[in-house]
């Protein structure tokens, strides 16, 4: 099943189509569709990793409570 988003991207390339085809062949993809499919997959995984990093950084650090009030 083909992704309609990828098909629209390929249709809208116009003058950049030759450039993208050469780039896809250079990177070892059989088709322009496979190249954009991989590109979108990498973008989505990068966004997910970035979100996870932000979530771990935003967790408040708990401070140890001291037993006496003078310190």
Confidence band of 39 (pLDDT split at 50, 70, 90): very high
Give the DSSP per-residue string, 15-66: GGHHHHHHHHHHTT-SSHHHHHHHHHHHHHHHHHHHHHHHHHHHSPPPPPPP
Distance CA(9)–CA(12), nearest Å, equals 5
23 CB burial (10 A radius; 0-12, 13-18, 19+): middle
Average pLDDT over residues 35-43: 95
Average pLDDT over residues 46-67: 79
- Above 90 in pLDDT, residue 40? yes
Mean pLDDT over each residue of the chain, to the nearest integer: 87
What does the pLDDT look like over 14-33, one tens digit per residue?
999 999 999 999 999 999 99
Q: How far apart are the first and last CA of the chain?
A: 66
Query: What is the pTM assigned to this prediction?
Result: 0.69
């Amino acid at each position: 099943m083909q992704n309609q988003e990828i098909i629209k991207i390929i249709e809208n390339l116009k003058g950049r189509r030759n450039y993208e085809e050469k780039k896809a062949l250079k990177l070892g993809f059989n088709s322009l569709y496979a190249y954009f499919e991989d590109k979108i997959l990498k973008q989505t995984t990068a966004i997910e990793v970035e979100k996870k990093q932000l979530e771990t950084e935003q967790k408040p650090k708990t401070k140890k409570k001291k037993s006496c009030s003078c310190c």
